[in-house]
Chains A and B, each alone.
Chain A
C-alpha cells in the first residue's frame, strides 16, 4: 500500500515536472514524452486538475496543461517540507490517513525524542493536527490536498541533501530515550 502510494506520487511528480518544463503540452505529447499508458496518464492528470495542482485549458482540438503557481502559504510549507524527515512523516500520514508517534518511531527507526521534535515542528507550523484518543495522540494532516500539491511540485536539490545531512547529524544522534509527546 505504502509503496503503491509512493509510486503514484513519483509518477505524478514526473508528469508535473514535464508540464512545468514544457507548459502547454497536450495529452498525446505528454504520453509520448513520458511513455506512460494513456489511461494512467489521464487518471493522474484528472487527479491533479481536481486538486488544482495543474490547470487544463481546452482549445479547439486539444486540452493543454499548465502548472498552477504556488501560493505564498504553499511556498512556506514547501520550505518546511524540503527536510527529508519531515517529508517522510507527512508521507506516512498521507498513506495511513492518520498515525501515532509509536508507528513513526518503528517505521523511521528514530529515537522517540527526535520524532517528538519533528512532530512538534510540524504541529507548530500548522501542517499536522492532533487528536487525543485515550492516552495517545493521533496525528492527521491539516490540509491534505494542499500538502499533496506541494509534495508533487517538490524538486530535490544538492543543497537540500547537504541540509538534510546537517539536520540529521545534529538532531538524530540522541541515544537517550525520552517519552514521546
Chain B
C-alpha cells in the first residue's frame, strides 16, 4: 500500500484525537463507575485501538495489520454501536 503525506497526517491526527477522547472517557469512568460510562469508554477505546494500530504501518515497511477495508468499517461500526448503547442507557 502506498502511503502519502496526507495519509500520515490523517492517521496521526485520528490516533491522537481518539487517544485523548478515550483518556477523558476513562478518567470519567474511574470517577463515575456506572454501566453507561463503561459502555461509552469501551466505544472510545475501540476507536483509540483502531487509531493506534494504524500508526506502525507508517514507519515499519514490513508491518502488516492484515486489516481489510471491511474490517476497518466493522471496527468503527462496533465502536459507534457501543457508544450509542451507552448514550441510550439510563
Tell me if A42 is interfacial: C-beta within 8 Å of chain B. no
Tell me if A34 is interfacial: C-beta within 8 Å of chain B. no
Q: How many residues of B contact A (CB 8 A)?
A: 14
Contact of B32 among A121, A159, A178 (CB under 8 A): A121
A121 to B31, CA, bound (A): 11
A159 to B24, CA, bound (A): 8
Contact of B31 among A79, A113, A171 (CB under 8 A): A79
Contact indicator B37/A163 (Cβ below 8 Å)? no
Contact indicator B32/A162 (Cβ below 8 Å)? no
Known: A113-B90, A170-B86, A170-B87. Is A163-B36 also a contact (CB below 8 A)? no
Contact of B36 among A79, A166, A171 (CB under 8 A): A171
Q: How many residues of A contact B (CB 8 A)?
A: 15
Tell me if A108 is interfacial: C-beta within 8 Å of chain B. no
A14 to B86, CA, bound (A): 39
Tell me if A82 is interfacial: C-beta within 8 Å of chain B. yes
With a cutoff of 8 Å between Cβ atoms, the chain B residues found around residue A82 in the complex are 31
- Interface flags for B3-29 (1: CB within 8 Å of A; 0: not) read 000000000000000000000110110
With a cutoff of 8 Å between Cβ atoms, the chain B residues found around residue A113 in the complex are 90
Contact indicator A170/B31 (Cβ below 8 Å)? no
CB distance from A76 to the nearest CB of B (A): 11
Q: Is the interface of A mostly helix, strand, loop or mixed?
A: helix
A23 to B64, CA, bound (A): 57
Contact of B24 among A121, A166, A171 (CB under 8 A): A166
Contact indicator B27/A163 (Cβ below 8 Å)? yes
A129 to B82, CA, bound (A): 34
Contact of A117 among B31, B34, B40 (CB under 8 A): B34
Q: Which of chain B's residues 53-79 have a Cβ closer than 8 Å to chain A?
A: none
Q: Which of chain A's residues 147-181 have a Cβ closer than 8 Å to chain B?
A: 159, 162-163, 166-167, 170-171, 178
Contact indicator B28/A163 (Cβ below 8 Å)? yes
Contact indicator B31/A80 (Cβ below 8 Å)? yes
A174 closest partner in B (C-beta):
B90
Contact indicator A166/B25 (Cβ below 8 Å)? yes
A171 to B25, CA, bound (A): 13
A167 to B29, CA, bound (A): 9
Given contacts A82-B31, A83-B32, A171-B36, 8 further A-B contacts (CB under 8 A): A117-B90, A159-B27, A163-B24, A166-B25, A166-B28, A167-B28, A167-B32, A170-B40
Residues of A whose CB lies within 8 Å of any CB of B are 79-80, 82-83, 113, 117, 121, 159, 162-163, 166-167, 170-171, 178
